[in-house]
């Protein structure tokens, strides 16, 4: 792993120091911030590759920080929180977080999650060596080599996992996938979340592509999962 820069945002100094030690041991560089307002300033000045973000912070909370970052950047965000309820997890994902980890946690698990998220978020270098990975339909182009989504000829800013999910479904039109299959095939074995994650990302994709064309549809197959349906 190269020396990607990680921004750690948590008001617990001991947790910050423990994470910093583990991350630097793995070859990362790490900046530590314990205040919400300072976190946004540091994010803008240091341009980190990933943010570990606690929810309960002095100044402004992690939810608002996530909202502010997502206004201008798709930098990966992993939420660190003592809140383990499904509502909190889903809210974080809906605000644009890439993953969440519930305290208490093992530092090795955090490092594994960071590596997994960075792999999913990185440009598809392996794909470039094999040629362009792209699927095209009426008014829709999903390019996984450049991580680019075009709708009706216009590039639409899309987080990496949303793009990977759409590419996976559109590459296999009319095939029905269960939520667990999508978690396994899109997120991979490193992912520790639950199937609600898929629902959240489908919802965000629909906000972008629903009604664009009458020749295809991102469709729910009730009690089963989802499929990218093409129409004659």
156-175 pLDDT, tens per residue? Answer: 999 888 999 999 999 888 88
Angle at 208 between CA 204 and CA 210, to 5 degrees: 100
Model confidence band, residue 124 (pLDDT cutoffs 50, 70, 90)? very low
Which architecture, in CATH terms, is 125-230?
Orthogonal Bundle (1.10)
The confidence score (pLDDT) of residue 162 equals: 92
Number of H helices, E strands in the chain: 9, 12
Model confidence band, residue 128 (pLDDT cutoffs 50, 70, 90)? very low
Domain boundaries, the chain: 5-121, 125-230
3-state DSSP call for residue 68? helix
- Percent of the chain scored above 90 by pLDDT? 48
Model confidence band, residue 2 (pLDDT cutoffs 50, 70, 90)? low
Judge residue 191's burial from the number of C-beta atoms within 10 Å of its C-beta, 0-12 exposed, 13-18 middle, 19 or more buried: middle
Q: 9 φ, ψ to 5°?
A: -120, 105
On average, the pLDDT of the chain sits at 85
Question: Does the structure show a pLDDT above 80 at 96?
Answer: no
The confidence score (pLDDT) of residue 138 equals: 92
Question: Does the structure show a pLDDT above 60 at 129?
Answer: no
| Close Cβ partners of 51 (under 8 Å, ≥ 6 residues apart) | 6, 7, 9, 43, 69, 75, 76, 77, 78
Q: Residue written as tokens 């606690």? A: 54
Is domain 5-121 given the CATH code 3.30.1390.20 in the classification?
no
The confidence score (pLDDT) of residue 66 equals: 92
Q: 192 φ, ψ to 5°?
A: -110, 5
The confidence score (pLDDT) of residue 62 equals: 92
Q: Given the DSSP bridges, would you call strands 225-230 and 216-221 parallel, antiparallel or unpaired?
A: antiparallel
26-35, 85-94, 122-131: which is most confident: 26-35
Kindly report, residue by residue over 10-66, the tens digit of the pLDDT: 999 999 999 999 999 999 999 999 999 999 999 999 999 999 999 889 989 999 999
Beta carbons of 124 and 134 less than 8 angstroms apart? no
Question: Does the structure show a pLDDT above 90 at 130?
Answer: no
Question: Does the structure show a pLDDT above 60 at 123?
Answer: no
Model confidence band, residue 193 (pLDDT cutoffs 50, 70, 90)? low
DSSP letter at 33? E
């Amino acid at each position: 792993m190269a020396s990607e820069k990680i921004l750690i945002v948590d008001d617990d100094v001991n947790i910050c120091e423990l994470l910093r030690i583990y991350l630097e041991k793995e070859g990362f560089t790490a900046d530590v911030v314990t205040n919400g307002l300072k976190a946004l300033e540091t994010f803008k000045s240091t341009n980190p590759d990933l943010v570990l973000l606690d929810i309960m912070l002095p100044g402004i909370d992690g939810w608002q920080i996530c909202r502010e970052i997502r206004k201008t950047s798709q930098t990966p965000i992993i939420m660190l929180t003592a809140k383990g309820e499904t509502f909190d997890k889903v809210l974080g994902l809906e605000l644009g977080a890439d993953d969440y980890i519930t305290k208490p946690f093992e530092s090795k698990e955090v490092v594994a999650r960071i590596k997994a998220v960075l792999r999913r978020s990185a440009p598809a270098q392996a794909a470039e060596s094999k040629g362009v990975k792209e699927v095209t339909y009426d008014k829709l182009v999903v390019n996984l080599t450049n991580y680019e989504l075009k709708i009706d000829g216009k590039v639409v800013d899309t987080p990496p996992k949303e793009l990977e999910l759409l590419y996976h479904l559109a590459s296999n039109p009319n095939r029905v996938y269960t939520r667990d299959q999508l978690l396994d095939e899109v997120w991979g074995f490193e992912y520790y979340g639950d199937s609600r994650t898929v629902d959240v990302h489908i919802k965000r994709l629909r906000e972008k592509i629903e009604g664009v064309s009458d020749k295809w549809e991102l469709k729910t197959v009730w009690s089963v999962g989802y499929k990218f349906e093409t129409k004659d």
